[in-house]
């Protein structure tokens, strides 16, 4: 290859990066960032190209030793992938795509699928920047998906590649966040309003759901709320698990004071249309897309909300007062659409149960939309879904919402196969998804209870369970929730228990010997039983219908990307297909090598390295 051809290719590559999508080079700004350890020693930046299915990481660690970043799973570090690198005392760098063969031992992959973009060390930090495909063809590499990803980070004090548990950390992150807050508009006339408890004494109980009713801002004309942000006292952050805001119908008669949301007074559970949800101490704020907002100030809009705060006081600490809440950002600059939230899933109480000792147990909640327009009271346009939030408690392992039309599965709306109870946040869909009247919506929740020796029932406590998905959509209607539950009498009969009503059916679950065979029998019976579907409006109007659980067609894994930097072992190949590695160009010459320093000076060492790797030019 001549110098002229090399420079021409570099120039074309630069122009292509400017005009065609996102290509993250060694100096490109990476939009997302997070500390990965409690002491803020490990800082991660990242960004991704959805079209090319490439993700770029930059790991900065306060060390002069090696650093590593990869992906692990919930149960064991064995099999985790880890890209490692560092700078030797003589200034030479080392970089390798590896995996853990046991909890402490690293081994280099046969296929090197991570591409180095930069590795530096100064007096304080070692910084490593690299890219990798979402899914390589190497079985030792974990996939990057739209699920929760458990990011593994590690480092050493010197250049000896040895894992130390005190310097190894795992953090759950939703890496493929579609919308970044910096991409959204913040109106100049923004007004702030706080909804909060005042000096609430947190009970010494493990779990408390505290509720109160608060007025929304009083405005003389229509405004839009466009952002929710948690408002927390620093010393209480670990006790506040999540905060929810529910809109109240204007016909509701509301109580005063603060009380248990799901206790003796049922009035404190009024108002069921979620509006601002899932705000945790580390999830941060959520800003709606620029074309949607929560409407306030018109006769049809809610004037009051129910503020619900879930406290987890597992250490039973006495005498802690809290004034947490939600901060609203609103504007008179109106958006195109009024947004709403539709709650789907398994009707929590009293039918939901999960057997103890289950490796896997699936629960289903059905929604049938055929009555939506009738219950809405006025003609209802199709729903456009743009975001979602998933919710189970500690036994939850995965969730998904599936859409059906005319008896045929249309799509999986949202899912998380690696759900983490401690990372519940509102997530944006990659595109708007339409729900028409008559569609069926199914929520499937996957649980594991190997650590439990008694039944887990549906309920608000952390040790109880839930199976909920909240869909964020526009334009707003009056439907607040649509959830289902199975005929528990049928389930009891299938398990050999004689019962005559639902209460007896639930009591009978305590009589079952929960062997693996009976666990599977119960799961099958729950799936095959007729579902009662409960539809509720914002004004607490309730109607029931019935239906049956349809089959779910699982989404296949996409094709993997062959490595251009290593050999793919035959056993690593999978039937899902391949995206070919870049085609090699032959004919490199010593003339090419002579012009490399000038090319690196003009275009940058990272761009040059990328091109040489792509063309498979050996230096």
Active-site amino acid positions: 209, 391
DSSP-derived 3-state class of residue 605: helix
Q: Distance of CA 506 to CAs 163, 458, 481, 520, Å?
A: 49, 11, 24, 17
- Is the peptide bond preceding residue 350 cis, with omega within 30 degrees of 0? yes
- CA distance linking residue 618 with residue 595, whole number of Å: 14
- CA distance linking residue 495 with residue 498, whole number of Å: 9
Distance of CA 274 to the CA centre of its chain: 18
Q: Distance of CA 147 to CAs 62, 150, 283, 345, 393, Å?
A: 29, 10, 16, 19, 17
* Burial class, 278, CB count within 10 angstroms (exposed 0-12 / middle 13-18 / buried 19+): buried
- CA distance linking residue 513 with residue 294, whole number of Å: 49
* Burial class, 497, CB count within 10 angstroms (exposed 0-12 / middle 13-18 / buried 19+): middle
**Nearest by Cα to 502 from 513, 511, 491:** 491
The residues with which 150 forms a beta bridge, in sequence order, are: 72, 172
Give the Cβ contact number of residue 364 at 10 Å: 23
The residues with which 169 forms a beta bridge, in sequence order, are: 153
């Amino acid at each position: 290859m001549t110098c002229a051809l090399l420079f021409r290719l570099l120039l074309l590559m630069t122009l292509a990066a400017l005009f065609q999508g996102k290509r993250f080079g060694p100096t490109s700004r990476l939009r997302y960032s997070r500390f990965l350890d409690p002491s803020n020693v490990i800082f991660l930046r990242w960004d991704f190209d959805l079209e090319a299915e490439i993700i770029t990481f930059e790991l900065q660690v306060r060390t002069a030793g090696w650093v590593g970043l990869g992906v692990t799973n919930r149960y064991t570090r064995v099999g985790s992938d880890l890209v490692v690198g560092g700078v030797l005392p003589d200034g030479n760098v080392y970089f390798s795509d590896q995996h853990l063969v046991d909890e402490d031992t690293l081994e280099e992959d046969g296929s090197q699928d991570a591409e180095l973009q930069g590795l530096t060390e100064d007096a304080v930090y070692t910084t490593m920047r690299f890219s990798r495909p979402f899914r390589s063809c190497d079985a030792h590499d974990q996939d990057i998906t739209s699920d929760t990803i458990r990011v593994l980070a590690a480092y050493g004090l010197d250049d000896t590649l040895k894992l130390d548990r005190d310097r190894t950390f795992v953090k759950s992150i939703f890496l493929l966040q579609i919308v970044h807050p910096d991409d959204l508009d913040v109106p100049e006339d923004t007004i702030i309003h706080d909804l909060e408890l005042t000096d609430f004494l947190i009970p010494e109980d493990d779990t408390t759901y505290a509720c109160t009713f608060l007025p929304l801002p009083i405005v003389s004309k229509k405004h839009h709320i466009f952002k929710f942000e948690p408002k927390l006292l620093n010393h209480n952050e670990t006790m506040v698990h999540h905060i929810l805001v529910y809109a109240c119908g204007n016909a509701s008669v509301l109580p005063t004071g603060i009380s248990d949301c799901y206790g003796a007074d049922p009035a404190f559970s009024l108002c069921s249309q979620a509006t601002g949800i899932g705000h945790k101490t580390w999830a941060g704020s959520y800003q709606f897309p620029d074309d949607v907002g929560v409407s306030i100030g018109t006769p049809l809009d809610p004037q009051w909300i129910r503020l619900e705060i879930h406290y987890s006081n597992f250490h039973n600490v006495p005498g802690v007062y809290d004034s947490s809440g939600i901060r609203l950002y609103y504007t008179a600059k109106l958006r195109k659409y009024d947004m709403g939230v539709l709650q789907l899933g398994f009707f929590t109480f009293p039918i939901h149960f999960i057997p103890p000792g289950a490796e896997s147990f699936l629960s289903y909640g059905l929604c049938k939309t055929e009555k939506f327009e009738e219950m809405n009271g006025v003609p209802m346009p199709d729903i456009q879904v743009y975001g979602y939030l998933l919710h189970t408690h500690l036994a939850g392992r995965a969730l998904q919402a599936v859409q059906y039309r005319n008896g045929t599965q249309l799509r999986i709306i949202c899912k998380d196969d690696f759900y983490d109870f401690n990372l519940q946040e509102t997530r944006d869909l990659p595109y708007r998804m339409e729900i028409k009247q008559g569609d069926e919506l199914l929520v499937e929740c996957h649980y594991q209870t190997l650590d439990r020796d008694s039944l887990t029932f549906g309920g608000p406590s952390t040790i109880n369970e839930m199976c909920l998905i909240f869909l964020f959509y526009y334009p707003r209607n009056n439907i607040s929730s649509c959830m289902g539950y199975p005929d528990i009498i049928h389930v009891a009969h299938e398990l050999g228990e004689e019962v005559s009503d639902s209460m007896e059916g639930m009591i009978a679950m305590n009589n079952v010997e929960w062997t693996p065979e009976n666990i599977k029998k119960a799961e099958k019976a729950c799936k095959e039983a007729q579902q009662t579907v409960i539809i509720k409006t914002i004004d607490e109007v309730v109607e029931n219908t019935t239906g049956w659980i349809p089959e779910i067609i699982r989404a296949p894994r996409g094709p993997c990307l062959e490595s251009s930097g290593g050999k793919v072992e035959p056993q690593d190949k999978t039937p899902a297909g391949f995206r070919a590695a870049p085609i090699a160009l032959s004919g490199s010459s010593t003339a090419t090598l002579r012009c490399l320093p000038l090319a690196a000076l003009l275009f940058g060492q990272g761009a040059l390295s990328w091109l040489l790797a792509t063309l498979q030019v050996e230096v």
